[in-house]
Amino acid sequence: MTRKRTHRVVVLTGPQFDDVEHFEIVQYFANRGYYPDVVSDLRGEPSAQFHGNDPDKLGRQITVKRDVRQVNLDDYDGVVVVGGYCTAYLRVPDDPGSGEESASVQLVRAGMETAEMVVGIHCHSLWLLTGAQDLLRGRRVTTNHNVVWDALNAGADVQFTEDGTRTLDVCVDGLLVTGRERTSTHAFCDAVFTLLEREKR
């Protein structure tokens, strides 16, 4: 059964988001007719203010008023996770000793298990899934250089350039799109957008 298109995407972010990636991703999809609904793990608060990971140079901050637990994926065509160090926070569950996955990991898991749902995971945000090995095992991905070993240890098939000197800028594996770093954000968004716009959805 074909899902009804909503022209909305979840943009998952948090503290120490990448200052460039967050705003470029939000603006990219807004400019192309997809409402970017920015969400995070608000830890029971009505809203949260987050700073980017480059405050000295850019000093950017955002206010998020929608909690990840409020997301109903029936209302969206895709889930996009912003890079930066925010996923080190987002992957921690409310009770770290419980053995349960965090609400953010649960959201991305649900997206990856939903038919026709596009999931984009950029740069450092692949950290979010390195503890959920069943989601990465055997999947072709790219990521930032300092997440490579985590991804390999999780069973991912990390993709490198032909000369093996670095990971690919963008990798598409089915409806999963991964991106390498800040400089590949536009190409990453292009790949996600192409899947969102694919014919006969």
139-172: pLDDT as tens digits: 999 999 999 999 999 999 999 999 999 999 999 9
pLDDT of res. 127: 94
* Domains along the sequence of the chain with CATH: 8-123+170-196 (3.40.50.880)
Report whether pLDDT(13) > 60.
yes
Q: Calculate the alpha carbon distances from 105 to 64, 76, 130 in Å.
A: 18, 17, 10
Report whether pLDDT(201) > 80.
no
Residues 16-40, mean pLDDT to the nearest whole number: 96
pTM over 0.85: yes
pLDDT of res. 57: 64
Dihedral over Cα of 178, 180, 186, 191: its sign: negative
pLDDT of res. 70: 96
Q: Using H for helix, E for strand and C for coil, what is the string for the chain? A: CCCCCCCEEEEECCCCECHHHHHHHHHHHHHCCCEEEEEECCCCCCCEEEEECCCCCCCCEEEECCEHHHCCHHHCCEEEECCECHHHHHCCCCCCCCCCCCHHHHHHHHHHCCCCCEEEEEHHHHHHHCCCHHHHCCCEECCCHHHHHHHHHCCCEECECCCCCCECCEEEECCEEEECCHHHHHHHHHHHHHHHCCCCC
Q: Please state, for a pLDDT cut of 70, what percent of the chain lies above it.
A: 95
pLDDT of res. 101: 95
pLDDT of res. 5: 87
Comparing 57 with 110, the larger pLDDT belongs to 110
